[in-house]
Structure 1
Amino acid sequence: MKRVGIIRFSALGDIASTIPVVRACKYPPTLITSPIGQALYQDECDSFVVMRNKSVREGFRALSEIWRNHFDVIVDLQSNDRSRAMTALALTRRVNSKGTNQQQQTTKILADIAHRTDCFNPIDMSPESREKSFIVLNVGSSEKWISKRLPDCKWIEFAEKLKDRFELPFVMTGSAEELEYVQHIARLIPGKIEVAAGKTTIPELKQLLKTACLTVSTDSGPMHLSAVQKTPTIGIFGATNWIRSAPFGPWSVALFDRTYFATNHPPASSQLIVGDYYTNIRIEDGLDHLGLYLDQ
């Protein structure tokens, strides 16, 4: 049995997008990750090397753990300067993103890296049925990424159409720092609403998104976490790249304003400035696209 190390740090969405690749590994891998990654994968992996911070001292401590594992190959799904330095010092076979097509959805890029070894099966693209339980609305973003937030009227419009079509309750997710904004939107939209923002651990959020029958979300960690668990997911885009950051799988779709972005090309770089990115997005387009998966 081969010993496989997989490197993936960064934010929740980046680590979540790796889940289909990790699940495709033919051998139980060791995940080289952050505390967020360890929390997210605690029900998926038994072995971790956890980088608790970005200090040089912590890097060498983690490197000593990597040496003790005697990996046959390290799959560098992070592919930044820090991970490249670590894998070079690991003195074993390594693969990274060099030479891969970066103009595609993130999980596909990660799968292309992994499949440079013989340690991974094809990514599982089979859909799963969902009970008509509840709809997750993930409306928020961090203060840095306030440009991802839609005008209030769009969430009112989306919620009205979702309520009319499904007659299901809404669960509104988000972090503790997003709670005030989420509560603000919750007061505006119709229907039965539970605000879960700031109340869930990462494993609890993972389970919540897995049991939803639909997630509608800004470009965020919960959007990616929903999609990789095969929950039908509608990602709402404007300030960020909907090609690379699209939610995973045929049961997901990225919506953007085709009037504002008349050429169908995403912004050349992510936009921190708030703009009129969302006015003409129609939630019906996403529901029509996912009709096969929503009707199962």
Structure 2
Amino acid sequence: MKHPLPAHPQHIGVLRLSALGDVCNLVPTVRALQRQWPEAKITWIIGKGEHSLLAGMSGVEFIVYDKSTGLAGMRALWRRLADTRFDVLLHMQQALRASVLSLGLKADVRVGFDRARAKDRQYWFTHRQLVPRERAHVLESFMDFAALMGVEDTELAWDLPIPAAAVDEARHLTGDAEYLLISPCANPRLRNFRNWSAEGYAALVEHAYTQYGLKTVMTGGGSTQEREMGHRIQALCQADAVIDAIGATSLKGLLALIDRARVVIAPDSGPVHMANAMGTPVVGLFATTNPDRAAPYRWRDYVVNRYPDAVREFLHEDPATVTWGRRVRHPDAMSLIRSDDVIDKFDALLAATASPHAPSTGPTLDRESPDEA
């Protein structure tokens, strides 16, 4: 017998710890829940870094779990929520660590992914699972939780707050002139291979500067890899064309930079989804991950997509039949992206968005049936 879902939930729990791009893609689901049940309390259990990006989001209580604290941190969180019982817990993290964390939370019903989309046997830890849907984008998979709850209004809304200090942080780096923003490096996880070449970015920087008078702001964390990439790009460009902001901003400061950018260009990483959330035009660079699943949602028409070529060349499989979400873990995959590919998309996006922040698609979620997907 299925556990019934609450018709009028008073307290909704959301469990999603990471990562930056994923939590950006989840925000529209939270906004949809808020529109459906404006009086309901929403508590989001979230990772430390991700919270620093979303802090101040209206109508949401954040409970932060720092993954570095391990089981001790879980126990502390369980104690904090010992007197809390959720009408429904939306378990939206497909990882064993999150499932273990969920065990110490009290909820009348726990909702998770369907078996095809669940990882680490997440369905062992939930009472109800999503209706199966093939070939779903990450944002669509999150919105499926709201649909299962009975939400019909799937308008995409983010409304992420940017404090004045973060705006000042951004303006201190750029002044008031328009600029292109690039974030050259993705999270350096094991066998990620999402980074494009310094030479490719340099060609783009020169094009933006010579053809449009746009300087380029480089952003990223303070890791050695990111700083070295920034130095290589800068060495290949005119000195006046680049502002090096790698390691120079907070996450809110980065969000402010992205919000004010004319265009953002980056690989599959947090900044492309942050740009999508802010309505900033964005070109995503994809070869190792499938953009149909993970592209910046409102700007999918402007993705540089070499994923099918990478699947054929490095996996020796047919892109039409390869497992959904399969990654191409090969260090040469991103080299399939050519400078002309990126420059052409950049030019097209500039031409299509004479006014900054004009989305390329409508404001509502694509709702395809499984047969159409």
How much has 1:147 moved relative to structure 2? 2.4
Alignment of 1:149-228 (within 5 A): 149-177=195-223, 178-190=226-238, 192-228=241-277
1:198, CA displacement in angstroms?
0.5
For the 8 Å contact 1:6–1:77, the answer to whether it is kept is: yes
Corresponding residue of 1:287: 346
For 2:331, the equivalent position in structure 1 comes to 273
**Distance in 1 separating the partners of 2:328 and 2:319:** 15
- Maintained 8 Å contact 1:33/1:51: yes
Q: Distance in 1 between matches of 2:107 and 2:278?
A: 34
Alignment match of 1:59 (pick from 74, 78, 83)? 74
Output the aligned Cα RMSD: 3.1
How far, CA to CA, are the matches of 1:88 and 1:146 in structure 2?
A: 30
User: What is the CA distance between 1:164 and its match in structure 2?
Assistant: 4.2
Residue number among 305, 313, 317 corresponding to 1:256 in the alignment: 305
Of stretches 162-171 and 175-184 in structure 1, the one that deviates more from structure 2 is: 162-171
Which residue does the alignment assign to 1:34? Answer: 47
Partner of 1:116: 148
Name the CA distance, whole Å, in 2 between partners of 1:271 and 1:14: 20
Q: Per the alignment, do residues 157 and 67 of structure 1 end up closer, same or farther by CA in structure 2, a change over 3 Å counting?
A: same
Cα separation, 2, equivalents of 1:118 and 1:67: 28
Structure-2 change in CA distance of 1:7 and 1:259 (3 Å): closer
**1:266-293 CA distance string (max 9 Å, x none):** 8832415334322376124423653575
Question: Aligned-pair distance for 1:57?
Answer: 2.9
Is 1:2 the equivalent of 2:10?
Answer: yes
Q: What whole-Å deviation, never above 9, does each CA across 1:138-169 have from its counterpart, x for those lacking one?
A: 11234445722223332122223333443222
The separation in 1 between residues aligned to 2:101 and 2:199, in whole angstroms, is 47
Q: Which residue of 2 aligns with 1:49?
A: 63
In the comparison of the two structures, how many residue pairs are matched? 292
Q: Residues 176 and 184 (structure 1 numbering): CA distance in 2 closer, same or farther, change over 3 Å?
A: same
Contact 2:209 2:241 in 1 (8 A): no
Amino acid at match of 1:117: M
Question: Cα offset for 1:211?
Answer: 1.5
On the 8 A contact 2:205/2:241 being kept in 1, the answer is no
Flag structure 2 segments of 5+ consecutive residues without an equivalent.
Answer: 1-8, 115-129, 159-175, 313-317, 356-373
SS at match of 2:303: strand
Q: In structure 1, what residue type is equivalent to 2:231?
A: Q
Deviation of 1:85 after TM superposition, in Å, equals 4.2
Cα offsets for 1:163-215 (capped at 9, x unmatched): 34432221111110112211221221345321111011111111211121210
Structure 1 Cα separation of the partners of residues 73 and 134 of structure 2: 30
* Alignment equivalent of 1:15, drawn from 23, 27, 33: 23
For 1:83 and 1:121, how far apart are their aligned partners in 2?
28
Percent of aligned positions with the same letter in both sequences? 20
Contact 1:215–1:234, Cα closer than 8 Å, also in 2: yes
With structure 2 as the length reference, what TM-score do the two structures score? Answer: 0.68
C-alpha distance in 2 between matches for 1:119 and 1:205? 32
- Deviation of the 1:66 alpha carbon: 3.7
Answer whether contact 1:6 1:29 (CA < 8 A) is retained: yes
CA distance in 2, matches of 1:66, 1:115: 27
Deviation at 1:106, TM superposition (A): 1.2
> Larger deviation: 235-244 or 16-25?
16-25
Checking the alignment, whether the CA contact within 8 Å between 1:52 and 1:58 is kept in structure 2 is yes
Change in Cα spacing, 1:291 to 1:205, as seen in structure 2 (3 Å) is closer
Supply the distance in 1 between the matched residues of 2:205 and 2:27 (Cα, whole angstroms). Answer: 29
Q: 1:213 to 1:251 in 2, by over 3 A?
A: farther
* 1:40–1:278 distance in 2 versus 1, CA, 3 Å: same
Higher helix share goes to which structure? 2
CA distance in 2, matches of 1:103, 1:251: 15
- Structure 1 residue 19: Cα displacement: 2.5
Conserved? CA contact 1:252–1:290, under 8 Å: no
**Cα deviation digits, residues 100-133 of structure 1 (max 9, x gap):** 436222111111123222468423269xxxx972
Q: CA deviation at 1:233?
A: 0.8
Q: Which residue of 1 aligns with 2:371?
A: none
Asked if structure 2 preserves the Cα contact closer than 8 Å seen for 1:231 and 1:251, the reply is no
Structure 1 Cα separation of the partners of residues 196 and 28 of structure 2: 29
Where does structure 1 lack aligned partners over 5 or more consecutive residues?
A: none
Tell me if the contact between 1:170 and 1:194 (Cα under 8 Å) persists in the aligned partners. Answer: yes
Pick from 90, 94, 98: which aligns with 1:83? 98
Greater mean deviation of Cα atoms: 94-103 or 282-291: 282-291
Residue type matched to 2:232 in 1?
Answer: H
Partner of 1:232: 281
